[in-house]
Every structure is written in C-alpha cells, then in structure tokens.
Amino acid sequence: MPELEITKIQELVYELRVGDVMKKEVITVTPSTPVSELRGILRDNRISGTPVIEDGCLVGIISIEDFIRWLAEGSPNCAIADWMTRNVITLFQDEPLIQAINKLERFGFGRLPVFARDTKKMIGILTKGDSIVGLLKKLDVDYRQAEMHSVRSKHIFEDIVADRSSLIFEYDVAGGSNVERAGASASGLKTSLMRLGINPQTARRAAIATYEAEMNLMFFANGGLITAIIESNSIWIEMTDDGPGIENVDQAMRPGFSTAPDWVRELGFGAGMGLHNIKTCADRMRLDSTVGVGTRLEIEILVGGKREVIRDHATVTA
Ligand SMILES: Nc1ncnc2c1ncn2[C@@H]1O[C@H](COP(=O)(O)OP(=O)(O)OP(=O)(O)O)[C@@H](O)[C@H]1O
Ligand SMILES: [Mg+2]
C-alpha cells in the first residue's frame, strides 16, 4: 500500500484551533433591526453576514443572500427576524480547524459563530476567508522557523583557512523578450547563497536586486554579465553590458522613470521601479554608464549583523 502522505496544510488544519484563526470583533444585529438597514451595516463593516443577538443570546444569522432574497420578495418594513436563518450551526473555540472547515462545507454557510465551551458566550466568528488567512499565517511562521533551522550555525567562510577568500559566481544574461529565462540568474544566486549558509533575508535582498538588474540587461542592453563575489562579510554584485548606455543616470534612478517600449510594458514591466528597488536592497550602489559604450552597476550587500539603514551616499555617477 502506498504510504499516506500528509501535506503541511493537512497537518495544520488539525493542529490549529478555531480560536486561533477566528475573528474576535463580531458585528451583531438585533432581530428587530429593519432589513433595509442591513446593506449599510454589511458594507460599512466589509462583511457578508452577521449573527443576530437578542438579550445576549444568539437567535439567528443573517447574510447578504437573505438580503438579496428580501430585495426580490420582501416588503419594505420587514425586520431581520423575518429573514434570518434560525437553526444556526456554531463552533467551539477549542475545536480543530478541520471540523470548522467541514461544517462550513457541509452546511454551505459562509460564517459560523464561535462559542466558549465553558461560559457558553459568543466570542468570535469564523469565515472561510479567516481560515485561509489563519493557515497562511501559520505556514509563514513555520516556514520562517524551518528556514532559520536550515541556516547553518557556521557559514562556509569560517571553515576556510586563508587571510582572504572569495567565491565568484557568473551568470550570462541573454537579451530579448524570452521571459521564460527571466529571473534565472537571480534565482540561481539566491539558491547558491542559501546553500552557503547566508542569512535568508540577505540572500533575498541580493536576489531582488539581481532580478531587477537582470531584467534591465535583458530589455535595455541586449544581455550582459552578472558577477557575484561572495566574501566573508559582504556580497558584491556587478552587472555589466555593452548596450546603448543611459543618457541621464540621475533621471534613470528616479522612481517612475522608464523608457521601456510597449513590448516590455505588455510583459508587465516598465514601472520605472527597478533601479530604485536595487538601491533599497543594497547597502551601497554605484551606476556608471556611457552612451554607446555600456553600463556598469555595482552593488554591495553586507552579510551578517543588522541591516544598515540605506545610506544616502549611494554613489551614482554618469
Ligand atoms: N542596462 C541598461 N542599459 C540601458 N538603459 C538602462 C539600463 N538599465 C536601466 N536603463 C534605463 O533606466 C530606466 C529605468 O530603469 P528601471 O529598472 O528603474 O525601470 P524600468 O526597467 O524601466 O521599469 P521596471 O524595472 O519597473 O520594470 C529604464 O527605463 C532604461 O531607460
Ligand atoms: Mg527595470
């Protein structure tokens, strides 16, 4: 028999409790509230349904679907009591999320009120959306923890005996519109940095900067070369091309400035944010360009220690 594979999501829906993911602020209405007021209540609170409470007790649930039925069939002065669902399915806060998801599915309700098992008081409400957000948050937390564990306590340079040492990775970037290859250098660099035991946040910054530069090489310079030099406490990344060059470097650096042609914009690029993003990710940046000769971009990202505030003296020369 094949081994039963449990996915992380499956594991989490058993592990998480309703109380972990429910919304605690519950908007409620009373049975005597006119149905006509419901639209405003739902819209103002950005919800699609709400529990109906009378003398502190849950007596029903009213949703946007009921409101639509009332619009089609009801008379103007109806109260919520006439249109609400009375047999409400509820949850306890200590139930596993899997049970809540099953109930939402089985009964087709959009939301289920949550009660405290001991006090029998309503303490929250759960929608499918809340379940998904809760799962994603937990996945993210677990992912980060796993990531931190996988970072070696020692980084590769500590094992090397030398006064100075560095690793050099080179990536060739082709020009043109073949977006299938887009990001290959950035992702190759990121994978390599992670394998070297470099902090994931640092590796991510290097990857974002490299990705932006890679796209610029591809679209504006008909390709080029990316060289990453990894030293014990910094990552240098140099991108060079012999493309048309940049006429005005200060202008190119400005967020929103772009000369991207239509075909580049149609691919979803050309917001003019690339160089700005690179500056944000880097601890130091230098962009040199000569029209008709080419462009050279160099950045440095410090490894280890706290992220330094982005320095204003990022050198930009034409
Ligand atoms: N290697 C390069 N060679 C020639 N021109 C370049 C090069 N890199 C950038 N540029 C010029 O600088 C401008 C700004 O680049 P930036 O990366 O900030 O924005 P973009 O590429 O136009 O849009 P986005 O990066 O948001 O998709 C580009 O539109 C282009 O004119
Ligand atoms: Mg760009």
Q: Where are the alpha helices (DSSP H) in 79-183?
A: 97-107, 128-150
130 and 162 fall within a common domain:
no
Answer yes or no: is 74 within a domain: yes
Q: Is the CB of 157 under 6 A from ligand 1?
A: no
Compute the distance from residue 190 Cα to the ligand 1 centre, in Å: 22
Q: Note whether 123 and 93 are within 8 A (CB).
A: yes
- Contact of 13 with 96, CB cutoff 8 Å: yes
Cβ(260) – ligand 1 distance below 6 Å: yes
Whether 168 and 92 share a structural domain: no
Q: What is the mean pLDDT of each run of 10 residues along the chain (318 residues)?
A: 63 88 94 95 93 93 94 93 93 89 88 91 93 89 74 68 91 86 89 86 90 95 96 94 96 96 88 94 95 97 62 38
**pLDDT value for 232:** 85
Ligand 1 atom at minimum distance from 219 CA = 21
Q: Are 133 and 162 in the same domain? A: no
In whole angstroms, give the CA distance from residue 65 to residue 201: 45
Residue 284, classed as helix, strand or coil, is strand
Residue 228, C-beta contacts closer than 8 angstroms, at least 6 positions apart: 168, 169, 170, 171, 189, 206, 210, 235, 236, 237, 238
Question: Is 269 touching ligand 1 by the criterion CB < 6 Å?
Answer: yes
Q: In this structure, is residue 150 part of a structural domain?
A: no
146 within some domain:
no
Q: Are residues 169 and 57 in the same domain?
A: no
Same-domain pairing of 228 and 112: no
- Taking the centre of ligand 1 as the mean of its atom positions, its distance from the CA of residue 269, in whole angstroms, is 10
Whether 111 is covered by a domain: the verdict is yes
State whether the beta carbon of 303 lies less than 6 angstroms from ligand 1: no
Confirm or reject: Cβ of 173 under 6 Å from ligand 1.
Answer: no
Nearest atom (ligand 1) to Cα of 224:
1
Same domain, 62 and 168: no
Quote the domain boundaries for residue 193: 156-316
Tell which one of 185, 216, 262 to mutate to probe ligand 1, the residue whose CB is within 8 A of the most ligand atoms.
216
Backbone φ and ψ of 105, nearest 5°:
-65, -50
- What is the pLDDT, as a whole number, of residue 140? 84
Let me know if residue 147 belongs to a domain.
no
Contact yes or no for 110/48 (Cβ under 8 A): yes
Q: How many domains, in total, are found in the chain?
A: 2
What pLDDT, on a 0 to 100 scale, did the predictor assign at position 7?
74
- Which ranges of 231-297 would DSSP assign to H, the alpha helix? 249-253, 262-266, 274-281
- Specify whether the CB–CB gap between 313 and 248 falls below 8 A: no
Q: Which of 137, 166, 201 is the last residue of a domain?
A: 137
Phi, psi of 96 (to 5 degrees): -65, 150
> Which residue has its alpha carbon closest to ligand 1 atom 12?
252
Strands of the 315-316 sheet, one edge to the other: 167-174, 223-230, 234-241, 294-302, 284-290, 315-316
Last residue within a domain, chosen from 103, 137, 171? 137
129 and 165 within one domain: no
Ligand 1, atom 31: closest residue by C-alpha: 259
Do 82 and 161 fall within a single domain? no
Cβ neighbours for 180, distance < 8 A, ≥ 6 positions apart: none
Is 167 in the same domain as 76?
no
Q: What is the CATH classification number for the domain harbouring 277?
A: 3.30.565.10
Which residues face 288 on adjacent strands? Answer: 296
Q: What is the pLDDT of residue 313?
A: 38
Q: Is residue 142 part of a domain?
A: no
Is 124 strand, coil or helix? strand
Judge if the beta carbon of residue 239 lies within 6 A of ligand 1: no
Q: Ligand 1, closest atom to CA 276? A: 18
Q: Is 275 in the pocket of ligand 1 (CB under 6 A)?
A: yes
User: Is 168 inside any structural domain?
Assistant: yes
161 and 309 belong to one structural domain? yes
| CB neighbour list of residue 264: distance below 8 Å, 6 or more residues apart | 177, 219, 270
Q: Is residue 292 part of a domain?
A: yes
Read off the CATH number of the domain in which 76 is found: 3.10.580.10
The pTM of the full predicted model, rounded to 2 decimals, is 0.61
Measured CA to CA, the distance from residue 80 to residue 48 in angstroms comes to 15
Same domain, 91 and 185: no
CA of 28 to the centre of ligand 2 (A): 49
Among 137, 171, 206, the domain-final residue is 137
176 and 128, same domain (yes or no): no
Q: Which uninterrupted H or E stretch holds 171?
A: strand 167-174
* Closest residue CA from atom 19 of ligand 1: 272
In the reported structure, the alpha carbon of residue 259 is separated from the centroid of ligand 1 by a whole-number distance in angstroms of: 7
Residue with tokens 């006064």: 163
